[in-house]
Amino acid sequence: MFENRGPKCALLDYIDDATGKLLHLRFAGSENTFDYLHATKAYLQQWGKPLAFYSDKHGVFRSTHASEKDRTSGLTQFGRALYELNIDIICANTPQAKGRVERANQTLQDRLVKELRLRGIDTIEAANAYAPEFMADFNSRFGKQPRNPKDMHRPLADHENLDPCVGKKLARCRNP
């Protein structure tokens, strides 16, 4: 993302498929369980629970031992955290299957990289600090109105404390 001006990093992005709007961005050193759990916790606290997360087949999301018939067989740590919160993970077979999300990712790879360069941003910390400003601009330019205006995010119930679902798994990722 920093075009050899800073450390290698990954962008963890949460995009609303209905609108193409960026809901959460987090730069991390790599795509790993710890950073996905951390980013997902922040996303859930802000937006609530989606019905499902649509993703690629990265190892954070999908185990090679998963069964099509049993939702719980072969779940990754990340998958177990979402399962406990009643959030499905749908893994796309192709980039094209991810629809608007993949188109937004292409735009991010172009525009966000250029914006980071123009602003002299070359660290993960600075990129994360800039993310909310970029999201607001991106959403005002590229976000679309959904066909159905009802927000499908579900509020976290009082008994759905994120710490047992996500926090314990974060601790395990830090201290295996």
Q: Mean of the per-residue pLDDT values for the chain?
A: 82
170: pLDDT strictly greater than 60:
no
Any domain includes 55: yes
4 domain residue, yes or no: no
Q: Specify if 1 maps to a domain.
A: no
In a domain, 2, yes or no: no
Q: Residue 29 falls within a domain, yes or no?
A: yes
pLDDT band at 118 (very low <50, low <70, confident <90, very high): very high
Q: How confident is residue 126, by pLDDT bands cut at 50, 70 and 90?
A: very high
pLDDT bracket for residue 89 (50, 70, 90)? confident
Total domain count, the chain: 1
Asked whether residue 132 is assigned to any structural domain, the reply reads yes
Angle between helices 124-142 and 100-107 (to 10 degrees): 120
Higher-pLDDT residue of 172 and 92 is 92
Residue 152 in any domain: the answer is: yes
- Domain hosting 164: range is 10-174
Mean of pLDDT values over 92-99: 66
Binned at pLDDT 50, 70 and 90, residue 76 comes out as: confident
The arithmetic mean of pLDDT across residues 26-55, rounded, is: 90
pLDDT tier for residue 176 given thresholds of 50, 70 and 90:
very low
In a domain, 3, yes or no: no
pLDDT of residue 125: 96
Which CATH number does the domain housing residue 64 bear? 3.30.420.10
- Cβ atoms of 31 and 10 within 8 Å: the answer is yes
Q: What share of the chain in percent tops pLDDT 70?
A: 76
Residue 35 has pLDDT above 50, yes or no: yes
